[in-house]
Amino acid sequence: MQRLRRTRKNMLLRELVSETQIKKSGLIYPVFVRYEEGICEEIPSMPGVCRYSVDMLDTVAEQVVQAGIGGVMLFGIPQEKDETGSGARDENGVVAQAIRKFKSFFQKTGKRFLIIADICLCEYTSHGHCGVLACDDVDNDASLPLHAGAALAAVRAGADMVAPSSMMDGVVEAIRKTLDAEGYTDIPIMGYSAKFASAFYGPFRDAAESAPKSGDRKSYQVDCRNGREAMRELAADESEGADILMVKPALCYLDIVKQARERSDLPLAVYNVSGEYSMVKAAAAAGMIDERRIVKEILTSFFRAGADIVITYHALDYVRWEREGEIR
């Protein structure tokens, strides 16, 4: 008989032989930034997650530094929207201001973390789509220079990395060429490489005020039924110069994460999206689950499947629970 229980007998033995660890430095915390002052408003559909005005970001920076996680991913909510999402390319826009605010915190404290700028138009367009419209459809090629301009604005403000999330064909290449031409050859690109058309994005669209006014995004995001198509998307981003690949959402797509890990040697990220987060929060609030243990199990599953980086709204909570000995 094989006595596999021998190495599970107590916590010390289980820790000794554990195959997968949650890497704190691989956790990225999404941050929603808006105009005005003194804003720290909880998002109703995402308990524990807030929108912040730029002047309140020192508080976020302190939390991120204390947690020791890898960094933040920034999403901006502009004052005004238009047909082409010009606010995304504004070098004094809300994301650019947020980046400079974090940079000033680094200068004051000597502490730092990575600043990743999400690059998309949906928060900035009056119609809520991720590119410019032509005849009620997104014009892929006309949208590419607009995304490249948004990436350039973020990098000029001091972003360490850009992450194009629109799923426009060729967007990684367009951004890479623009950044290289401007001398930013050392700025990495994290592609939202296999981003599926998903119902799990609902709370995020509340948070970022980015829901499309009409239609949906199924023509430019991957059908949830198509694993082979996702592999083509991942391969396309890699060929266009992406430095990091991503699968989004995470929980229902661990098979895609596993396949991506087996096919590519690039660093691999997953986005543990808003709906996944809010389901856990709702079940915990109803007394149905142990939130701390569930979050640990979920985060572990991402790393076990092959992810190197996990973008998650649970990041700060998880590290605090672990530090205070509240997770076993």
Among residues 81, 195, 281, 296, the one annotated as catalytic is: 195
> What is the rounded distance in angstroms from the CA atom of residue 196 to the CA atom of residue 224?
6
> How do 40-43 and 46-53 pair as beta strands?
antiparallel
Among 17, 294, 19, smallest CA distance to 8 is for 17
Three-class secondary structure of residue 72 per DSSP: strand
Q: Is 284 helix (H, G, I), strand (E, B) or coil?
A: helix
Single out the residue of 222, 174, 156 nearest to residue 194, CA to CA: 222
Question: With contact defined as beta carbons under 8 Å apart, do 232 and 264 qualify?
Answer: no
Q: Is 248 a catalytic residue?
A: yes
Write down the catalytic residue from 81, 248, 281, 296.
248
Answer whether 116's CB lies under 8 Å from 71's CB: yes
Task: Count CA atoms within 13 Å of residue 270 on its CB side.
Answer: 28
Distance in Å from the first CA to the final CA of the chain: 30
Residues designated as active site: 195, 248
